[in-house]
């Protein structure tokens, strides 16, 4: 039972601080703001050059080989500076699937490209008729010589408008149970017959899309894992997704921003920060957050020791997203009337407030967190079945 | 970074678990609770022989020299078994004060007999009006030339019924609420002028209201510096809060396990009630509540090990979370056991009542949330 940092850990922390303070400079920050996905790619390539873009990959594939403590230090220092985490679809999600189930050819081709952020990935799971009941998916892939022909549609596809590749669950067989006959396949977004239809979100932004497949021809060698075993592949991926989803470091940063903002807001002569009611709301969140941080650390430590994440890991997604939303809600309250401000180029001086629109955007986009990656209700079904053993 | 227990800690855990399993079944415990003293002297001797009573005390004082994690292991296992013998009041509170405030002679005299199981102790710090404010103290100790004269009353003294020796918090100077001017005194429970009214609590603890009527104390009764007791008492309380949280975590895990088991076997409408989604999701909630409490306990343990002072905010937070999650867990445990859950016969209600007493001991969740806010958000 020990969290004291060793001399090596402290030296590592200095390295991390040094790197981030040098590389995440004003220019980089400006690029991230103004250049959207291109800015993000630029940042990920800087991380790649340092060898730090994939903390969770094995060393043989270009991972860092960091200990649990080092990962924790990295996360803390990153979020402290408000640096966004890497886009997960390639570096976290599909990479893990390829490493676990892919052919040598797939590994050799895709993994280095993912590592260098040469390809932007998106995830084709949900369909207009298949949300939480993912196994009911209908997008069809029919064998035709060395290819599959895909027909159907995927929906809620984040960043499909930027993507070079999409990893999809498709139905290759209709005869058995609905979990059977699903196949995991990689599709080039430039393929003929793919159409991306934007969906404007509740945050008034374009992050989500519908992706249509009309007779899209995909080489059969792009199947990952066995044909018909896509459900097993998807489940393994969900376990990976689950452990990385708590985002404690980012919630901690939100709490710091909340305190700063609440110290500047004044209500009837009293700082919001000194309002006992507001203090209690903050305390209730922070107490859970302090606990969640150690729940995450327990998971990291177990995994670093080569073990499977224990029952504590399964609550990371649920608690993490609940707390994310709780902090987003508090920011909205701090912004008061200004929480309603739509995206605007207006100067904050003229407008009268600084972060109302950001708070609104984060709050609105944040609604998705308890829905994606398996809604929190589905998470509870999974935990009750696989952790508690309830049928 | 690791959250593992050492081999030695694992051995202590196993030895307490074995004791509970072999010698502390529910009927045995019930008979002990209903006995005259509400505890078993024989068990207490066993605890001494197995070394459990020596764990927090330094090797120089004849103890095991354990740290906060060792203490936590013991308390968690005692929680799982709902052990009523007065480990917390004697070893953690009474022993904790003597070990910190006592001089060499006092420590030699008292701790050896605590470790050996010969002396049962109690720490008398609560007064009728004081609620959770330790500094709110009307009991006085007046210097009288040779020593002190003690007057006043302490209430809800844990283990007050069976304690041979007391540590009493009394005012040697200042007003009722002053933080300075508090002192600690060793008092024999049967000294002249000491009288007590004993009563059992819902968690089977035997407590007492103890009155001190011109009790004459020698100069050697003073523990630590005259007037400077509060910082020492606060140190003991910090450790005691972690100990209580550890016991609570043991209880919460046990309540969850028993409830889960029950919902897998109890059938209604022709199926196990655990097959109902409305219950499943609530049991996920109680599982998360337990894991979160355990995580925060780990944080408190790790920080306390590095520097007790650095754990202050975390310890307040821990008491808040134990209170909040404890209420959820015992509430759901009772509810899901249905009619059986509200009987005296079933153990569920007894675990719940101990958790409720833990929640109120040394400050409840509301009190510690205020303390957390004070220590974290002070302007």
CA distance, residue A272 to nearest chain B CA (Å) = 11
Residues B166 and B121 sit within 8 Å (Cβ to Cβ): yes
Number of H helices, E strands in chain A: 14, 10
Domain of B367 in residue numbering reads as 231-377
A209-222 residue pLDDT tens:
999 999 999 999 99
- Measured from the Cβ of residue A275, the count of other Cβ atoms closer than 10 Å reads 16
* Fold exhibited by the domain A121-229: Butyryl-CoA Dehydrogenase, subunit A; domain 2 (2.40.110)
A contact residues 72-91, partner B, Cβ 8 Å cutoff: 72
Region A76-105 average pLDDT? 92
**Average pLDDT estimate for A102-123:** 97
Of B89, B119, B149, the one marking the end of a domain is B119
- Is residue B2 situated within a structural domain? no
A interface test, pick of B295, B310, B366 with most A CB neighbours within 10 Å: B295
pLDDT band at A68 (very low <50, low <70, confident <90, very high): confident
pLDDT at B219: 94
Q: Are residues B133 and B174 in the same domain?
A: yes
Distance CA B232, CA B226 (A): 12
Q: Indicate which of A243, A271, A294, A305 best probes the interface with B, i.e. most B CBs within 10 Å of its own CB.
A: A294
Task: Map out the domains of chain A as residue ranges.
Answer: 7-86, 121-229, 244-387
Q: What is the CATH number of the domain that holds B161?
A: 2.40.110.10
Q: Are residues B101 and B220 in the same domain?
A: no
pLDDT value of position A243 = 54
Report the share of chain A in percent with pLDDT over 70.
Answer: 97
Quick one: B151 and B240 in the same domain? Answer: no
Nearest to A2 among B2, B317, B376 (CB): B2
Contact B292 A387 (CB under 8 A): no
Confidence at residue A82, expressed as pLDDT on a 0 to 100 scale: 87
Query: What does the angle CA A20 – CA A23 – CA A24 come to, to the nearest 5 degrees?
Result: 70
Instruction: Please tell me the predicted confidence (pLDDT) of residue A354.
Output: 81
Per CB-CB distance under 8 Å, the chain A contacts of B296 are 287, 290-291, 294
Looking at residue B317, its pLDDT comes to 98
Q: Are residues B115 and B141 in the same domain?
A: no
Number of domains present in the structure of chain B: 3
> Cα distance from A254 to chain B (closest Cα, Å)?
16
Q: Tokens standing for A245?
A: 């989803």
Q: What is the DSSP string of B77-94?
A: HHHHHT--SSHIIIIIII
DSSP letter (8 states) at residue A348: H
- Of the three residues B194, B227, B260, the one that is the final residue of a domain is B227
Query: Integer distance in angstroms from the first to the last C-alpha of chain A?
Result: 35
Contact B88, B75 (CB under 8 A): yes
pLDDT at A244 over 60: no
Q: Can you read off the two tokens belonging to residue B136?
A: 């709110």
What DSSP string runs through A270-334?
Answer: EEGGG-HHHHHHHHHHHHHHHHHHHHHHHHHHHHHTTPPP-HHHHHHHHHHHHHHHHHHHHHHHH
Q: Kindly state whether residues B253 and B364 are assigned to the same domain.
A: yes
A300 pLDDT above the threshold of 90: no
Residues of chain B contacting residue A312, judged by C-beta atoms under 8 Å apart: 291, 294-295
- B373 lies in the same domain as B238: yes
- Residues A162-191 have a mean pLDDT of 95
pLDDT value at residue A348: 82
Beta carbons of A254 and A248 less than 8 angstroms apart: no
Residues B148 and B285 in one domain: no
**pLDDT (0 to 100) of residue A307:** 72
Judge: B299–A72 Cβ closer than 8 Å, yes or no: no
Pick from A171, A99, A175: nearest CA to A137 = A171
Residue A2 CB contacts under 8 Å (≥ 6 apart), including other chains? B1, B2, B302, B305
* Whether residue B201 sits in one domain with residue B93: no
Structure confidence at residue A303 as a pLDDT band (50, 70, 90): confident
H-helix or E-strand spanning residue A140: strand A140-144
Three-state DSSP class for B290?
helix
Residues of B in contact with A370 (CB under 8 A): none
The pLDDT score that the predictor gives to residue A239 is 65
| Residue B215 contacts residue B150 (beta carbons within 8 Å) | yes
Q: How many CA atoms lie within 13 A of B31 on its CB side?
A: 8
Query: Within this chain, do residues B238 and B364 fall inside the same structural domain, yes or no?
Result: yes
Residues of B with CB under 8 A from a CB of A: 1-5, 69, 260, 263-264, 274-275, 277, 280-281, 283-284, 287-288, 291-296, 298-299, 301-303, 305-306, 314, 317, 320-321, 324, 369, 372-373, 376-377, 379
Task: Write out chain B's pLDDT in tens, 379 residues.
Answer: 889 999 999 999 999 999 999 999 999 999 999 999 999 999 999 999 999 999 999 999 999 999 999 999 999 999 999 999 999 999 999 999 999 999 999 999 999 999 999 999 999 999 999 999 999 999 999 999 899 999 999 999 999 999 999 999 999 999 999 999 999 999 999 999 999 999 999 999 999 999 999 999 999 999 999 999 999 999 999 999 999 999 999 999 999 999 999 999 999 999 999 999 999 999 999 999 999 999 999 999 999 999 999 999 999 999 999 999 999 999 999 999 999 999 999 999 999 999 999 999 999 999 999 999 999 998 6
Joined together, the tokens standing for residue B181 give 């001017």
Determine, yes or no, domain membership for B324.
Answer: yes
Give the residue-averaged pLDDT of A191-207: 95
**Domain limit, last residue, from B180, B211, B227:** B227
Among the partner-chain residues A295, A311, A390, the one whose CB lies closest to the CB of B274 is A390
Judged by DSSP in three states, B45 sits in helix
The maximal CA–CA distance of chain A, rounded, in angstroms, is 76
**Which of A72, A286, A291 shows the shortest C-beta gap to B295?**
A291
> Which residues from chain B sit within 8 angstroms of residue A377, using beta carbons?
281
Examine the domain organization and report whether B217 and B237 are in the same domain: no
For residues B173 and B100, state if they share a domain. Answer: no
Q: What is the pLDDT of residues A115-145, one digit of tens each?
A: 999 999 999 999 999 988 899 999 999 999 9
Q: Is the pLDDT of residue A245 over 80?
A: no
Which own/partner pairs from A60-63 qualify as long-range (CB within 8 Å, at least 24 positions apart)?
A: A61/A99, A61/A107, A61/A111, A61/A115, A62/A111, A62/A112, A62/A115
Residue B1 lies inside a defined structural domain of this protein = no
pLDDT of residue B153: 98
| In a shared domain, residues B82 and B156 | no
Q: Which residues of A are catalytic?
A: 241
pLDDT digits (tens, 9 = 90+) for B24-77: 999 999 999 999 999 999 999 999 999 999 999 999 999 999 999 999 999 999
Q: Options 1.20.140.10, 3.40.640.10, 4.10.490.10, 2.60.40.10; which CATH number does A244-387 get?
A: 1.20.140.10
């Amino acid at each position: 039972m020990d969290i004291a940092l060793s001399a090596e850990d402290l030296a590592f922390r200095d390295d991390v601080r040094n790197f981030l303070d040098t590389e995440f400079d004003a220019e980089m920050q400006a690029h991230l703001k103004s250049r959207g996905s291109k800015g993000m790619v630029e940042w990920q390539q800087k991380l790649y050059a340092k060898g730090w873009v994939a903390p969770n990959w094995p060393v043989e594939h270009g991972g860092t080989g960091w200990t649990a403590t080092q990962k924790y230090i990295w996360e803390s220092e990153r979020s402290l500076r408000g640096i966004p985490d890497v886009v997960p679809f390639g570096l976290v999600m599909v990479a893990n699937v390829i490493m676990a189930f892919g052919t040598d050819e797939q590994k050799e081709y895709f993994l280095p490209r993912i590592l260098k952020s040469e390809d932007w990935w998106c995830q084709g799971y949900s369909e207009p008729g298949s949300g939480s009941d993912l196994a009911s998916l209908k997008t069809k892939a029919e064998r035709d010589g060395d290819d599959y022909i895909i027909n159907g549609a995927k929906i809620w596809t984040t960043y499909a408008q930027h993507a070079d590749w999409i990893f999809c669950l498709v139905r290759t067989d209709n005869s058995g149970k609905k979990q059977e006959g699903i196949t995991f396949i990689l599709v080039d977004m430039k393929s003929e017959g793919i159409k991306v239809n934007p969906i404007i979100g509740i945050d008034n932004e374009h992050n989500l899309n519908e992706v249509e497949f009309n007779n899209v021809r995909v080489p059969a060698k792009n199947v990952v894992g066995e044909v018909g075993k896509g459900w097993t592949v998807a489940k393994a991926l969900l376990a990976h997704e689950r452990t990385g989803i708590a985002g404690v470091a980012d919630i901690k940063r939100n709490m710091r921003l909340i305190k700063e903002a609440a110290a500047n807001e004044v209500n009837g002569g009293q700082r919001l920060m000194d309002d006992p009611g507001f203090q209690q709301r903050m305390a209730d969140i922070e107490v859970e957050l302090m606990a969640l941080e150690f729940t995450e650390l327990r998971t990291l430590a177990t995994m670093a020791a080569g073990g499977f994440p224990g029952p504590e890991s399964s609550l990371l997604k649920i608690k993490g997203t609940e707390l994310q939303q709780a902090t987003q809600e508090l920011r909205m309250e701090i912004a008061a009337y200004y929480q309603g401000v739509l995206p605007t180029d207006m100067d904050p001086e003229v407008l009268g407030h600084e972060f109302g629109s950001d708070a609104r955007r984060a709050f609105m986009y944040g609604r998705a967190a308890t829905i994606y990656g398996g809604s929190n209700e589905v998470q509870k079904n999974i935990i009750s079945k696989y952790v508690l053993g309830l049928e | 970074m690791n959250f593992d227990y050492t081999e030695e800690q694992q051995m202590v855990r196993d030895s307490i678990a074995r004791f509970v399993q072999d010698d502390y079944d529910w009927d045995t415990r019930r008979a002990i609770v209903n006995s005259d003293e509400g505890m078993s002297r024989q068990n207490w001797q066993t605890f001494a022989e197995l070394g459990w009573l020596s764990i927090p005390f330094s090797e120089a004082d004849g103890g095991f020299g354990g740290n906060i994690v060792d203490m936590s292991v013991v308390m968690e296992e005692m929680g799982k078994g709902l052990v009523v013998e007065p480990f917390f009041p004697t070893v953690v509170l009474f022993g904790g004060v003597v070990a910190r405030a006592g001089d060499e002679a006092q420590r030699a005299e008292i701790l050896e007999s605590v470790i050996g199981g010969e002396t049962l102790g109690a720490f008398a710090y609560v007064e009728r009006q004081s609620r959770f404010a330790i500094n709110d103290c009307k009991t006085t100790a007046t210097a009288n030339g040779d020593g002190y004269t003690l007057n006043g009353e302490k209430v809800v003294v844990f283990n007050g019924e069976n304690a041979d020796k007391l540590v009493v918090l009394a005012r040697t100077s200042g007003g009722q609420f002053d933080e300075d001017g508090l002192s600690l005194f060793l008092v024999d429970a049967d000294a002249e002028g000491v009288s007590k009214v004993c009563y059992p609590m819902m968690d089977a603890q035997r407590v007492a209201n103890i009155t001190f009527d011109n009790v004459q104390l020698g100069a050697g009764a003073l523990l630590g510096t005259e007037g400077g007791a509060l910082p020492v008492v606060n140190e003991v309380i910090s450790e005691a809060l972690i100990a209580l949280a550890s016991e609570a975590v043991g209880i919460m895990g046990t309540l969850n396990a028993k409830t889960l088991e029950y919902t897998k076997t109890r059938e209604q409408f022709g199926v196990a009630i655990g097959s109902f989604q409305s219950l499943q999701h609530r049991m996920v909630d109680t599982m998360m509540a337990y894991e979160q409490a355990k995580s925060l306990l780990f944080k408190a343990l790790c920080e306390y090990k590095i520097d007790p002072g650095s754990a202050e905010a975390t310890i307040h937070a821990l008491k808040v979370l134990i209170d909040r999650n404890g209420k959820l867990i015992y509430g759901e445990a009772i509810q899901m056991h249905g009619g059986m859950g509200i009987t005296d016969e079933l153990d569920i209600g007894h675990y719940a009542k101990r958790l409720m007493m833990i929640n109120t001991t040394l400050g409840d969740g509301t009190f510690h949330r205020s303390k957390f806010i004070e220590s974290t958000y002070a302007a």
